[in-house]
Structures are given as C-alpha cells and as structure tokens.
Chain A
Amino acid sequence: MIADRLALYDLYAAYGALIDAGDWNAWLDLFAAVCRYQIIPRENADLGLPAGLVFCDSRAVLEDRIMALREANKYNIHWDRHMIGLPRVLEDAGVEVSVEASFAVFQSDQEGGSRLFATGLYRDRIIGEGEGLKFRDKTVLLDTFAVPSLLATPL
C-alpha cells in the first residue's frame, strides 16, 4: 500500500538524519523494544563467519554501546553524513517486512576535509510497534571493512 511505503521511507530518512544530527536517543527510539543491531564485515559474511565489529544482540547491549560512546569513548571529532538508497522490500509478511537499502556514510573533520567513510548494505527486518515502524533487526553489511581510522558513531 502506498501509505505503508511512505512510512517506510520516513523511517529510513529519520534513521540517517538522527545519526547525522547526533541525536542518538531519538535514533534508539527507531528500534523495537526487542531488537538486534550488528555491523558485520563483508569479509566475514562471505566466509560464513559470525564475528561483527559491533554485535548488539539485545537492546540492552545497544543502549550500553550508546552510553559508552557518550560517557567513556574518545574518537575522531567529526560529522557524519548518511546517503541511504531507496529501501527495497524483499518480503512483506504482514507483521514483519524484510528490507534492503544501500548506504554511504561520508565523514567530515573539523577542518572541513571530507572522505567516504563507509559503504554497504542494510539488511533489515521491520515491525509495527506503538505508533509506527521500528527496526526489529538491523544488520549493516559493511563493504568498507578495512575501517578508516576507527568506527565510533553508528552506521
């Protein structure tokens, strides 16, 4: 249905914009109460190996990571800019939708230099929860698995 498709587009638009704005609380609100978020190097996915760069198999671990980012971690001072391609619906099972979307993240440093930081594919399962759509499971399949410098802010 056209209305549902627009809600899906809104979800992806919000996803990138909230990370780029550094509004991680609002970003966390895009995930379901029971959720998983992981960043898997393409190298591992192709070899069938499970280890991720980020492996949040529960909402608690995801929230811990965001708290650590705020409270403890130090990283390159930068801005992110997400470019997310149109989401492609792979399967719509009614209660849950499987979606893929390409992404590119550019990083800019505080002296104004920009570079391509990461590109890859989101593989997502999305459910309706509360008022809107939420990510039940988000796997970031990372093509740029030779991570430039370090990976702190979410992809």
Chain B
Amino acid sequence: MATAAIWPTLDYRRVPYRLYHDPELYQQEQDHIFRGGTWSFLALDVEIPHPGDFRATYVGETPIIINRDEAGAVHAFVNRCAHRGALVRRELSGNAKSHTCIYHQWCYGPDGKLAAIPFRRGIGGKGGMEPGFDMSAHGLRRLKLSAVNGAWFGTFAEDSETLEEYLGPAVLTQLHRFFDKKMKVLGYNRQRIRGNWKIYAENTRDNYHASLLHEFLVTFGLDRSTQVGGVKMDARHRHSFTWAEAGSDSEEAARRAYGEAHIRNDYLSLQEPALVKFYPEHGDRLNIAISTVFPASVFVQISNSMAVRQVRPRGLDEVEIFQTMLGYEDDTAEMTLHRLRQANLVGPAGLVSMEDGEAIEIAHRASRPDRDGMTVIELGGGGEISDRDYRVHDVPLRGFWSYYAELMGIEPDGAVR
C-alpha cells in the first residue's frame, strides 16, 4: 500500500520503482485515474461517419464502444454485458442498429440502454425474470462525451471538468491546430511493450531522450536539441505540449553541441530525402509538435506524419500503444504518399520511434527487483514545475507524477503542483 510517505522529495525529482510494479496500485489506477475524472481520447468523428457506425476501444483496461445513433448523436459506453459481464460487441468496428451479447442475447441500443431480454416472461408462464426487474437500471455504463474539432474524448465522471477546462489553453490550442481540417485515417498500428504503462507515459513527456535514444533524428538532421523549442503545460502540469521549429539551428552549432557531449555528430544523408523533408502546414515552422493529455492520449506530429496514440495498459507488465495514422481529407495524392512514406518514421517499426519499445522494456525489467530504488528526474532542475523554452529537460514528467499523486491520494503535504 502506497502512501504520501513514499515520496522522498516534494518536487517529484525521485520516483520509487515500486510505483511501476505494485499490483495493488495498478488496480487503484483503473478506478481513480482511468475511470475517474480524467478525459481519454476515444475515436475520431470521421471513423464513425454514418448512423450505426461503431468502434471498440479502451479506457485503461475497460472495453468501450463508441457509436453513432440513427439521429446522428454519438454515444459511448462500457462494452460489458449487464447480465454476466461478457463483452457485448466482439468486432472492432462495423455498423449495427443495436448491440447484442452472444451469451444470452441481451440487446442494447446505440445509447447503451438495455432494449430486450430473451424469454423475459419465460415460456408458458414459467421461468423468465421476476416481474419487478428494472430494465432501465441494467443498461451499459455510459461515458460523458465531448469533442475538439472532431476528436471525441470520454470521461466516467459526470461531474468532471469540461474537456476544454481539463485540457487548458496550451494543449487546446495545439489540438485546434492539429485538427484544423477534416481528418482522413490512413491506417492503424499497434505495439505491445513489456513494461508498465507509466514508463511509456513518461517517455512521451521526455524531451531529453529524443535525440539521444533516437539517433536517427540527429544522424539524418530531423530533430536536434539545438533547435528552438520547449514545452508548455496546463496550469495543473498534467499535460504537456512539446515543440521544435524546423531549420532553427545551424549545422555548426549542432555539430559543436553534440561533439562536446561526445555524441555522434557525423551526419549521414539518405538516398530518399523525402523521408525527412518537411512541408510547413499550419502557418508555422513546427516540425515537432507532441501534445500529451493525461493520462493516456498523445497527439503526435513529427515532420508531416500525424498520429493519435492511445496508451492501453494490459496489466501491470504490458502496455499496448494503439496508433491511428492520419492525414487531412483534402490532401493531394502527393501529400498522402508523403505521409505514407513518413509513416516509416513512427510506430513499432518507426525509424525514430522503435527504440522506445526497447528502452521501456529494459527500464521495466531492471527496476522490478528493487522496489525501493528511485528514478532521477532532474533535467532542467527540480523545484517548480513550469514551462521551458529549451529542450534538454524532463520537467513534464514531474508534472505527470504530481497529478498522479493527487488522483491516487498519495500527494504529500506541501508538494509542488
């Protein structure tokens, strides 16, 4: 059982390994974080364009259906039969007027309400449900929904903040930029990493690792810590927006900085430069724009590749990264081909992302046997959690842990927020 005493400092510059490896905490996370007042990305409006369209997804480990009813309204609810707890909808996507569990054919409407029970009155006056059985009390648990430019989010808490309040201005501005036109899904990819989901959540907030672990970024000149960039957060520091501007550093400055750090700086060139060619799209020069939304949604633009990632815990020791690769509906055929080529950069086989799978697994594996050991989070200094206009830092990780501690009821008195 973890308590506030678990933290050796009040600024989260040390994180005990046990927080990644405690089965009891894992169960509490499902209740207090994923099924609490947080908002999670569920699906894009363009993935369920027609009445009856549905997609199966997850919030934490909880299976969810999001679908569109005959009138065009979107609903989301837990994909688990009120009768015996079985999955109601087994397919990942499709079109249907209702959802029927195969086990005993209990049938639910697109609003998640229980619509029909076979043999409810029995047969020949015998059997069936008791007359007082209340159908309306046995629907599927509904989520509250809200969308930003066609990106649907859901929360389990009726009394949660609005989505806009939850995101805060910095991330909301970025999601408006990311989803500034109608989207087009180019495909999906999935990666199952043998590590706790929070190590991945930290990774997506960690600007320090990017050009060190992912050597491709520097070797082929796509992203360097010498570029103009930084991080912005919401007031509670639970989300982060990491950015960098293309072409904002000189070759010479980059060679010097990486050379002085004894890091390889002998840049190579590609036969197909389109892999790293960047076409500005939103009236700015951002070639790295990554918004992380607590707890488990990430919106990623790297050069002209765009994706939404859902971080799906699969037990204490495994996480699935489910990634939706995107373009804009009005992309030219050339731009679509460019995005498909740059999809080589990201995902489980990504030239600038495959390393994350390995880094998370070795961190998870080696930290497990020593639960009182500590990770060090001090790049950019300790103390105040605040926005930075430079890139060699890992400050948003402390923001993540600060909000985690609050939601889990283990925030120490006087801790930074």
Binds A, one of B225-233, B350-358, B397-405: B350-358
How far does the Cβ of A108 sit from chain B's closest Cβ, in whole Å? 16
List B residues 186-216 near A (Cβ within 8 Å).
Answer: 186-194, 213, 215-216
Asked whether B216 lies within 8 Å of A51 as measured between CB atoms, the reply is no
Question: Across the interface, do A50 and B216 meet the contact criterion of CB distance under 8 Å?
Answer: no
Assuming the contacts A64-B271, A71-B268, asked whether A41 and B190 have C-beta atoms less than 8 A apart, the reply is: yes
Bound-complex Cα distance A63 to B358 (A) = 23
Contact indicator B216/A52 (Cβ below 8 Å): no
What total of chain B residues lie within 8 Å of the partner, measured CB to CB? 40
A47 to B93, CA, bound (A): 10
Q: Contact at A149–B194, with CB atoms within 8 Å?
A: yes
Contact with B along A93-109 (1 / 0, CB 8 A): 00000000000000000
Chain A residues near B170 (CB-CB < 8 A): none
Interchain CB contact (< 8 A) of B349 among A44, A58, A74, A150: A150
Known: A58-B272, A64-B272, A72-B215. A49 touches B341 (CB 8 A): no
Known: A146-B192, A149-B358. A49 touches B187 (CB 8 A): yes
> Distance in Å from the Cβ of B271 to the closest Cβ of chain A?
4
Question: Which residues of chain A are within 8 angstroms of B361 by Cβ–Cβ distance?
Answer: 76, 149
CB closest residue in chain A, given B340: A55
- Chain B residues near A65 (CB-CB < 8 A): 344, 351
Indicate if the CB atoms of B340 and A52 lie closer than 8 Å: yes
Whether A17 sits at the interface, judged by CB under 8 Å, is: no
- What residues of chain B lie closer than 8 Å to A51, measured between beta carbons? 186-189, 325, 340, 343
> Which residues of chain B are within 8 angstroms of A54 by Cβ–Cβ distance?
344, 349
A150:B219 contact, CB within 8 angstroms: no
**Residues on B with beta carbons closer than 8 Å to the beta carbon of A53:** 189, 347-349
Give A66-88 interface residues, CB cut-off 8 Å to B: 67-68, 71-76
Closest to B185 in A: A49
Contact B213 A74 (CB under 8 A): yes
A149-B193 contact in complex given A50-B187, A60-B271, C-beta closer than 8 Å: yes
The answer for the CA separation of A43 and B189 in the assembled complex, in Å, is 8
A132 part of interface (Cβ distance < 8 Å): no
Min CB distance, A20 to chain B, in Å?
18
Judge whether B15 is part of the interface by a CB distance below 8 angstroms: no
Cα(A27)–Cα(B192), bound, Å: 28
Q: Say yes or no for A8: interface residue by CB 8 A criterion.
A: no
Which residues of the other chain, B, contact A63 by a CB distance below 8 angstroms? Answer: 271
Q: Tell me the smallest distance from the CB of B266 to a CB of chain A, in Å.
A: 9
CA distance A74 to B336 in the complex (A): 28
Q: A60-B271, A76-B358, A76-B361 are in contact. Are A68 and B351 (CB under 8 A)?
A: yes
Cβ–Cβ contact B341 & A146, under 8 A? no
A67 to B270, CA, bound (A): 9
Once the chains are docked, how many angstroms separate the CA of A142 from the CA of B167?
A: 36
Contacts of B111 in A (CB 8 A): none
Place the interface of chain A in its size category. Answer: 35 or more
Query: Which residues in B have their C-beta under 8 angstroms from that of A50?
Result: 186-187, 336, 340
Q: Cβ of B187: which chain A residues have Cβ within 8 Å of it?
A: 41, 43-44, 47, 49-52
Q: A39-B349, A50-B187, A50-B340 are in contact. Are A60 and B272 (CB under 8 A)?
A: yes
Asked whether any CB of chain B lies closer than 8 Å to the CB of A89, the reply is: no
Bound-state Cα–Cα, A54 to B275, Å: 12
Q: Quick check: is B258 within 8 A (CB to CB) of the other chain?
A: no
Q: Which of A55, A73, A145, A148 contacts B354 (CB 8 A)?
A: A73
Q: Give complex CA distance A61, B211 in Å.
A: 22
CB contacts under 8 Å to A, within B352-395, are 354-358, 361
A74 to B209, CA, bound (A): 13
Choose among B194, B219, B348 the residue that contacts A151 (Cβ–Cβ < 8 A): B348
Contact between B354 and A151 (Cβ–Cβ < 8 Å)? Answer: yes
Q: Does A21 contact B (CB under 8 A)?
A: no
Residue in chain B with minimal CB distance to A147 = B348
Q: Does B411 contact A (CB under 8 A)?
A: no
Q: Give the residues in chain A near B192, CB-CB below 8 Å.
A: 146-149
Say yes or no for B220: interface residue by CB 8 A criterion. yes
B193 surroundings in chain A (CB, below 8 A): 149-150
A146 near B344 (CB under 8 angstroms)? Answer: no
Q: Which residue of chain A has the shortest Cβ distance to B186 in the bound complex?
A: A51
The chain B residue sitting closest to A41, CB to CB, is B189
Q: Which residues of A contact B191 (CB under 8 A)?
A: 146-147, 149-150
Q: In the complex, A149→B355 CA distance in Å?
A: 10
**B344 & A147 in contact (Cβ 8 Å cutoff):** no
> CA A68 – CA B351 in complex, angstroms?
7
12 contacts between A and B (CB under 8 A): A44-B187, A49-B187, A50-B186, A61-B341, A67-B268, A72-B219, A73-B216, A145-B189, A146-B320, A147-B349, A149-B194, A149-B358
Given contacts A53-B189, A74-B215, A146-B320, 19 further A-B contacts (CB under 8 A): A43-B190, A49-B186, A49-B188, A50-B336, A51-B187, A53-B347, A54-B349, A55-B341, A55-B344, A61-B344, A64-B271, A71-B215, A73-B215, A74-B213, A76-B357, A149-B191, A150-B193, A150-B348, A150-B356
Q: Which of A's residues lie within 8 Å of B, judged by CB? A: 39, 41, 43-44, 47, 49-58, 60-61, 63-65, 67-68, 71-76, 145-152
